[in-house]
Structure 1
Amino acid sequence: MPDLTRRRFVITAAFASGFALAVQPIASSAIMTGAEGLIAGAVKIPAKDGELSAYRAMPATGGTFPIVLVIHEIFGVHAHIEDVCRRFARLGYVAIAPDLFKRQGDVSKLSSIDEIRPVVAKVPDAQVLSDLDAAAAWAVKASKGNAAKLTTTGFCWGGRIVWLYAAHNPNVKASVAWYGRLVGDGMPLMPKNPIDIASTLKVPVLGLYGGKDTGIALDSVEQMRDRLKSSSSKSEIVVYPNAPHAFFADYRPSYREADAKDGWRRLQAWFKQHGV
Structure 2
Amino acid sequence: MPDQPTSFLHERRGFLAAALATGFALAVRPVAASTIVTDSDGLEVGPAFIERGDVELPAYVARPANASGPLPTVIVVQEIFGVHEHIQDLCRRLAKAGYLAIAPDLYFRQGDPRKYTDIETLQREVVTKVPDAQVMGDLDGMVAWAAAHGGDPARVALTGFCWGGRIAWLYAAHNPALKAIVAWYGRVEGKASDNTPLQPIDVAAQLKVPVLGLYGGKDQGIPLDGVERMRVAIKRSARPSRIVVYEDAGHGFNADYRPSYHRAAAQDGWLEMTQWFKRHGV
TM-score band w.r.t. shorter chain: over 0.9
Q: Which runs of 5+ in 1 are unaligned?
A: 1-15
Pick from 11, 31, 40: which aligns with 1:26?
31
The answer on whether the counterparts of 1:166 and 1:205 sit within 8 Å (CA) in structure 2 is yes
Equivalent positions of 1:241-260 (< 5 A) are: 241-260=247-266
Give secondary structure in 1 for the equivalent of 2:261.
coil
Report the equivalent of 1:13: none
Moved more, 249-258 or 45-54: 45-54
Q: Does 1:35 align with 2:37?
A: no
CA distance in 1, matches of 2:197, 2:72: 31
Q: What is the CA-CA distance between 1:108 and the residue it aligns to?
A: 1.0
Q: Percent identity?
A: 58
Question: Is 1:133 matched with 2:144?
Answer: no
Q: TM-score, normalised by structure 1?
A: 0.92
Q: CA deviation at 1:218?
A: 0.4
Q: Which stretches of structure 1, 4 residues or more, deviate above 6 A after TM superposition?
A: none
Matches within 5 A, 1:95-174: 95-118=101-124, 119-142=126-149, 144-174=150-180
Shift of 1:169: 0.4
1:186 to partner: Cα distance: 1.5
Structure 2 segments unaligned to the other structure (5+ residues): 1-20
- What is the number of equivalent residue pairs in this alignment? 260
Query: What SS does the aligned partner of 1:25 have?
Result: coil
1:220 maps to what in 2? 226
Task: Summarize deviations over 1:145-194 as a string: whole Å, max 9, x none.
Answer: 00111100010000000000111100010010000000112211111110
Structure 1 vs Structure 2 CA RMSD: 1.1
Q: CA deviation at 1:196?
A: 0.5
SS of the equivalent of 1:114 reads helix
Change (3 A) 1:138 1:233: same
Is residue 71 from structure 1 mapped to residue 77 from structure 2 by the alignment? Answer: yes
Displacement of 1:79 in angstroms is 0.3
With over 3 angstroms needed to count, the CA separation of the structure-2 counterparts of 1:166 and 1:48, relative to structure 1, is farther
TM-score, normalisation: structure 2: 0.91
Using a 3 Å threshold, how does the CA distance of structure 1 residues 17 and 149 change in structure 2: closer, same or farther? closer
